[in-house]
Structure 1
Amino acid sequence: MIWRKCLALVLCLYFCLSGHYSAFAQTDFPSKPVKIVVPFPPGGGADIIARMISARLNEKWKQPVIVENRAGASGNIGAEFVSKQPADGYTWLLTSAPFAIAPAVFSQLNFDPIKSFTPITQIATVPLILVTRPDSPIKNMEDLIALARKDGEKVTFGSFGNGSPAHLVGESINQIAKLKMTHVPYKGSSAALPDVISGQLSFAILDAISITPLIKSGQLRAIAIMGRQRSPSLPDVPTLAQSGIPFETVGWHAVFAPAGMSKALADQLNQDINTVIASPEIQEKIIAGGSIPPSPPWTVDGWSKQFAQDVKIWGDIARQSGAKND
């Protein structure tokens, strides 16, 4: 019988050292309530997505899945909080693209988006849309570029803040087309709308979630959409690349856990969240809101690589433009 005990000890050591033990140890996850931290106020795109997912995970896991809003500092307060939590799967962050931009536009951060977190999965891309008033002479990107080359800094574009994805997309258009359009920052998408509609702004770059209904109702004219594909909600609006500006980086909503999470647990969270996202009901809601669900779904490794690439791309644009958000 001694040999059996020795064999059991050897197998136990093997599983621990190889990481297989963690896979077995996590089979009872979750055994208590799970918290999704949204680093923005209630009612925004990330909050809406989080509440949709939490309700479905609640049903799947038979455990409470609570959404907690920790807003402030462009999402940095909530992100910092999550970065300091145990990597046990019970607290994670559901955030958006400004998270990837933060290192380039804030001089002091108490976390590193790559080193302090484990990327889990992307839930949806959130395209930004270049819009103008319905009676504007700007009907397409060709018109806009021609106007900007003629009037230079008199052509103004609004965004939802310095260093935001919308601001950096506008700066990318300036860099690629060699223009000098003037950026006008606002606090949120809705704040810029009156000035776009009245014509005080030449155009604005705003998030699809908040302005798709206004485009469909004819209150705004869509010129181009960011990303690699057209939106199912707005199939007639060309992408920026299709309009002659080769820029495809797009905003998103995604899930991150604290750094140090085991591969087994990260994969389990990824699979469970992806299963929820794949349900027809959630897919329909994501598309109706102007976002685009991923197809195929992201793996942990795939999303980790893409996120690192986004941090670099957005960071390069921010540094080249001098954008700051301190």
Structure 2
Amino acid sequence: MKKTVFTLAAVLLGGLALSGTALAQGYPTKPVTVVVPFSAGGPTDTVARLLAEVMSQDLGQQVVVQNVGGAGGTLGAGQVATAPNDGYTLLLHHIGMSTAPTLYRSLPYDPAKDFAPIGLITSVPMTLVARKDFEPTTLAELMDYIKANGENVTYAHAGIGSASQLCGMLLMDALDTQMTTVPYQGAGPAMTDIIGGQIDMICDQTTNTTSQIKAGEVKAYAVTSQNRLDALPDVPTTKEGGLGLEIGVWHGLYAPAGTDPAIIERLEKSLQVALANETVISRFAELGTYPVTAEEATPDALAQTLASQTELWRAVIEAAGVYAD
């Protein structure tokens, strides 16, 4: 009798496993939502929408971008961490996944344990830009101006943990000078006030500044990459201007932890298709960035990047003593 019960249980468990595999093989059968934990119109949102269009075609189901801003990206990330792990709710986040564990004393999720990595997407350089009538005309003049005026200089950022806040922290540390920081609910609104002249400056991703620089709506001082960008050939690097500030903002795609490996594999392949798409490559180039290689658009590469970057930013944030509630 015991043998019969054991055999029946094994059959039932095997059937459940087979059922899960069958579901994964048929994935997706309905639209997939990609949560962007920042406001619409910002740099991460731009990356997500470029990928969503191509991934929709590849998956045969619409990939919908949903903006869930607030709390420096932790609100949207937390929503995905507790979502069903069926592959229909994903997270597209940036470097903030590696800074949140140190910035937030009571983070409601663990980036390393509560998510299944799918792959890296891109690494975006930053640009130092200001309102177009800001007095300094070169990076050297800008550095001198900030040192001389300190807290009279207003610096915008897209909220606690945002790339623009992190770049601002590094800038102020490099200059040993504090500016007056003004937080916004996203990079889009911050850029609007830079263009409008209400705020002096920001350091933000090229995906959110390149078009405004080209249109002459803001004044550009430097890019934070090692080399000049094809999209902005006249903008010098921070190194050229004598500023020791290099930072790139990487983006990654995640699913909730426990998602079927077969679904992760399907999403990984779809991500790689999108990153190899000529339109995506061209549009990324216009924005001053580029897709990662197929070898980097993998779960292992994203997991390794997250782990190493978490340790790197822990030291930076602890030294700055900047924390969120």
Match in the other structure for 2:44: 46
Q: Which amino acid aligns with 1:185?
A: V
CA distance in 1, matches of 2:179, 2:195: 14
Q: Which amino acid aligns with 2:324?
A: N
Preserved contact between residue 249 and residue 310 of structure 1 (Cα < 8 Å): no
| Percent of pairs with identical residues | 30
Indicate whether 1:306 and 2:323 are aligned.
no
Preserved contact between residue 23 and residue 265 of structure 1 (Cα < 8 Å): no
CA-CA distance at 1:280 after TM superposition: 0.5
Match in the other structure for 1:260: 258
Q: Which amino acid aligns with 1:260?
A: G
Report the TM-score, using the length of structure 1 for normalisation. Answer: 0.79
CA-CA distance at 1:195 after TM superposition: 5.6
Preserved contact between residue 85 and residue 258 of structure 1 (Cα < 8 Å): yes
Q: Which amino acid aligns with 2:47?
A: I
Match in the other structure for 2:179: 182
Match runs of 1:165-176 below 5 Å: 165-176=163-174
SS of the residue aligned with 1:243?
A: coil
CA distance in 2, matches of 1:41, 1:141: 30
Flag the 1:147–1:57 CA change in 2: closer, same or farther, 3 A.
closer
Match runs of 1:104-183 below 5 Å: 104-134=102-132, 136-177=134-175, 179-183=176-180
Preserved contact between residue 156 and residue 181 of structure 2 (Cα < 8 Å): yes
Match runs of 1:6-45 below 5 Å: 26-45=24-43
Q: Which amino acid aligns with 1:213?
A: S
Q: Which runs of 5+ in 2 are unaligned?
A: 1-13, 15-19
CA distance in 1, matches of 2:258, 2:219: 46
Flag the 1:217–1:256 CA change in 2: closer, same or farther, 3 A.
same
Indicate whether 1:240 and 2:238 are aligned.
yes
CA-CA distance at 1:57 after TM superposition: 2.2
Alignment RMSD: 3.5
Aligned residue among 285, 288, 304 for 1:287: 285
Flag the 1:242–1:255 CA change in 2: closer, same or farther, 3 A.
farther
Preserved contact between residue 155 and residue 179 of structure 2 (Cα < 8 Å): yes
Q: Which runs of 5+ in 1 are unaligned?
A: 1-15, 17-21
The aligned length equals 310
SS of the residue aligned with 1:127?
A: strand
CA distance in 2, matches of 1:53, 1:152: 40
After alignment, is 59-68 or 110-119 more displaced?
A: 59-68
